[in-house]
């Protein structure tokens, strides 16, 4: 699975570049080389630990078989399965070679038509991604929210801060469909709800996105939702529209209009960068003769709670009958299946 000789050679090449004077003079290049060296070294160390653990478990299994110790055998086989899963994740992360795969990510969720049903579904999706992020020890920041009339959200945006969060979530863009017996229907009828998800990477100083001030329309408005009287009584919320592309972003997470404007501008740069990434991806697919699909309006996954229980990804055909577990953030298998298919 891993070509250690090539990886060690690559590490040596990076270490040599770090000693070259011309790279010392370029702060951005030097930092990127240093990050690459640290990531590669961490990966090689992890592989070395894997082989030590693997050989230890195999030795224990051999001893347990000789002594017919079923309990030790079962425990060791479970450890082997856990080790296999960890190596699979490590393998996928090494394949994340896109320009933005290592970046933090923004997740933007919009409820579809259907009022309360879809707004509640948007909140369920928010919880799913938040729980997933928490399981990875990532930090979750609420950036913007427009609450529903009764429950849930009309729209909500979060930032997931953690290495490779965009690499993991970049294929989640699309329409998510829920089928269930509505808790809001007095006749207990089955309802279908939709919500769209958009994932885009955070742009940092290593990525240059030029935005002309004349191309921006900046609006301020009164913030809604939680935050106290100060938030609700001042025009602290900011909406920025990029006129050439008609891309719009908004932020109301802070009491400071200046801070909200800075975050909104950061989000706009991220969205514009995502547009460029998608153009490159579509061009590469065309060159490879692959069929392209429009992600934003494309239904990617169904979550069926009635009349049977099943979560199905319509791209990879991967399924999981434990809907509650998936909605509780256990989506790694769906993410892995999609990433492996696209690599």
The CATH number corresponding to 213-285 among 3.30.160.20, 3.40.109.10, 1.10.357.10, 3.30.390.50 equals 3.30.160.20
* pLDDT the model gives residue 46: 83
Nearest to 157 by CA among 125, 135, 203, 131: 125
Q: What is the pLDDT of residues 265-296, one digit of tens each?
A: 999 999 999 888 888 777 655 554 544 443 44
> Is pLDDT at 255 greater than 80 in this prediction?
yes
Q: What is the pLDDT of residues 27-44, one digit of tens each?
A: 777 877 787 788 778 878
Least confident of 93-97, 146-150, 281-285: 281-285
Q: What pTM was computed for the model?
A: 0.75
**Neighbouring residues of 321: CB distance < 8 A, sequence distance ≥ 6:** 309, 310, 311
Q: What is the mean pLDDT of residues 317-335?
A: 96
Domain 105-194+294-342 belongs to what architecture? 2-Layer Sandwich (3.30)
How far apart (Å, rounded) are the C-alpha atoms in residues 127 and 130?
Answer: 5
Q: Where are the domains of the chain?
A: 4-94, 105-194+294-342, 213-285
* pLDDT the model gives residue 288: 42
Burial 185-196 (b: 16+ CB within 10 A, else e): eeeeeebbbbbb
The mean of the pLDDT values for the chain is 86
Q: What is the mean pLDDT of residues 208-220?
A: 91
> Is pLDDT at 231 greater than 70 in this prediction?
no
Q: If pLDDT is split at 50, 70 and 90, which confidence band does 181 have?
A: very high
Q: If pLDDT is split at 50, 70 and 90, which confidence band does 297 have?
A: low
- Is 4-94 assigned to CATH 1.10.3470? no
Element (H, E) at 282: helix 257-287
The two beta strands, 237-242 and 216-221, are antiparallel
Q: What is the mean pLDDT of residues 77-102?
A: 81
Nearest to 107 by CA among 138, 122, 129, 128: 129
Name the packing angle between helices 4-18 and 27-67 (round to 10°). 150
> Is pLDDT at 83 greater than 60 in this prediction?
yes
Q: Is 272 exposed, middle or buried (0-12, 13-18, 19+ CB in 10 A)?
A: buried
Q: What percent of the chain has pLDDT over 90?
A: 50
């Amino acid at each position: 699975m891993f070509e250690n000789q090539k990886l060690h050679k690559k590490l040596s090449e990076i270490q040599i570049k770090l000693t070259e004077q011309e790279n010392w003079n370029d702060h951005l290049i030097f930092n990127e080389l240093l990050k690459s060296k640290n990531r590669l070294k961490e990966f090689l160390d992890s592989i070395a630990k894997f082989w030590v653990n693997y050989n230890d478990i195999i030795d224990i299994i051999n001893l347990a078989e000789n002594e017919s110790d079923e309990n030790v055998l079962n425990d060791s086989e479970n450890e082997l399965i856990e080790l296999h899963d960890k190596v699979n994740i490590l393998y996928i992360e090494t394949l994340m070679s896109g320009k933005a795969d290592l970046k933090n990510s923004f997740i933007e969720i919009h409820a579809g038509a259907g009022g309360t049903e879809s707004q509640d579904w948007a909140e369920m999706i928010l919880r799913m991604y938040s729980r997933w992020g928490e399981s990875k020890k990532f930090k979750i920041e609420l950036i913007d929210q427009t609450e529903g009339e009764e429950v849930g959200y009309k729209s909500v945006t979060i930032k997931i801060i953690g290495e490779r969060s965009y690499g993991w979530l970049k294929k989640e863009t699309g329409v998510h469909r829920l089928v269930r017996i509505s808790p809001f229907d007095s006749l207990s009828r089955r309802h279908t709800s939709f919500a769209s998800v958009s994932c885009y990477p955070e742009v940092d100083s290593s990525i240059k996105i030029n935005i002309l001030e004349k191309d921006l329309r900046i609006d301020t408005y009164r913030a809604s939702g939680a935050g106290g009287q100060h938030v609700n009584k001042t025009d602290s919320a900011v909406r920025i529209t990029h006129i050439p592309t008609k891309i719009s972003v908004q932020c109301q997470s802070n009491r400071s209009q200046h801070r909200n404007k800075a975050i909104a501008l950061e989000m706009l740069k991220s969205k514009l960068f995502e547009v460029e990434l998608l153009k490159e991806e579509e061009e590469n697919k065309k060159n490879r003769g692959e069929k392209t699909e429009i992600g934003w309006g494309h239904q990617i996954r169904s979550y069926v709670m009635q009349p049977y229980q099943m979560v199905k990804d319509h791209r990879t055909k991967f399924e999981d009958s434990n809907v509650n577990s998936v909605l509780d953030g256990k989506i790694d298998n769906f993410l892995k299946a999609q990433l492996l298919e696209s690599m």
